[in-house]
Structure 1
């Protein structure tokens, strides 16, 4: 058997505890203890980052859905999930499929996908409430993709999710308004159970961008991304990436994007209220 202790890790850490920390398998008290100790141990931080990157790559490779932090907390508390004993302890190695079989299979899937697109294309606006631009539609603008990436990067942060916290809201709005060269305001989402966490400055496509973050009582987060854009149009569309959804719109040469993993209908309702609060005209989308 291999020793659980790794000589490359500092005293007080072992592979088993660190691995359980990454997998969300520790009780809350032990998880919090390791999380508090990590910032003082660069080697352990590097090991955790490497394992998390490896897990993310494996999920992407296998097409597995990403787990949100609320589920991971449930797993640590023992209400959801599997134990380490439930994980497979072996690897199945299969004989590679000949290239000509792979090419034929790919051609079949391509033909099936094209047929499905033709069959469902006319129904897409009805199924998505008019928020989907169709399989043949244009790609989402870069600011919507940037908003989605910013959501994925910053919402998992527990200790440093924002640069300026909500208790300095006046300073936050003044600072970001100055950087974007436009008066900004922070819409309230209390009606939907979300409170402001704070905000940060981000690089946009052609200048600065602002991100405001909200959180509800269960820890779920939404972000509002705002940036200047070069064109002006009336647009309101939906962009999806995994379990994340982003409703984005353009108004008065400003791009807005509301991102989160909540139900599409609820996110749309919040986006409409946010647009109205920011001086937009959501009635143009109906």
Structure 2
């Protein structure tokens, strides 16, 4: 039986359709009276539906439990707990003060989440099928900039990468602890892809100076402006991506 207000575990169980009839009715009554929580649940449901839709062509294969939305959320929760642990180490280091404390702080930051790690993860998840079912696609009549503006007030304009041969083909909303984020996939005539990612800053994603980092075979170029964090992610060794980076 769930508790009210529901825990995060109860909300995930509702999204995954794991509640019995009585608990589900109680949850729906609670959500109707709490629009902010209801919107968060709606975003989770949309992510789960999009993920299942994107994988529907591979249903003949054995199910991969790592791609189940519940498992994905559990991994995110585990990463969140790890970040909280790193923050606790940082607090202890600062409390101790002195050189030793600052050295411990530096070590904690090194072990922490690198800038715009979720942007890189989103690229790895969706780059293999840039035109999969999404919240916006190039075949729809609505302009991608209008779609982005409807969710992110005062955000930067989308990078115009036409000079490098890249054009937006799809966009999708995702969820963060601080609010919605968005991923816009670009593609050129040769099928190469790169992504533009926007998210609100947070406890582990502060406003960032312009920078670049490499993560395996990928390169993330990131910056902040207008109250949001941005990243363009592409293959690090792709000359076409280098041309696109010079365009923004």
* TM-score normalised by L of structure 2: 0.49
Q: Flag the structure with larger Rg.
A: 1
Higher relative contact order (CA 8 A, sep 6+): 2
* TM-score normalised by L of structure 1: 0.44
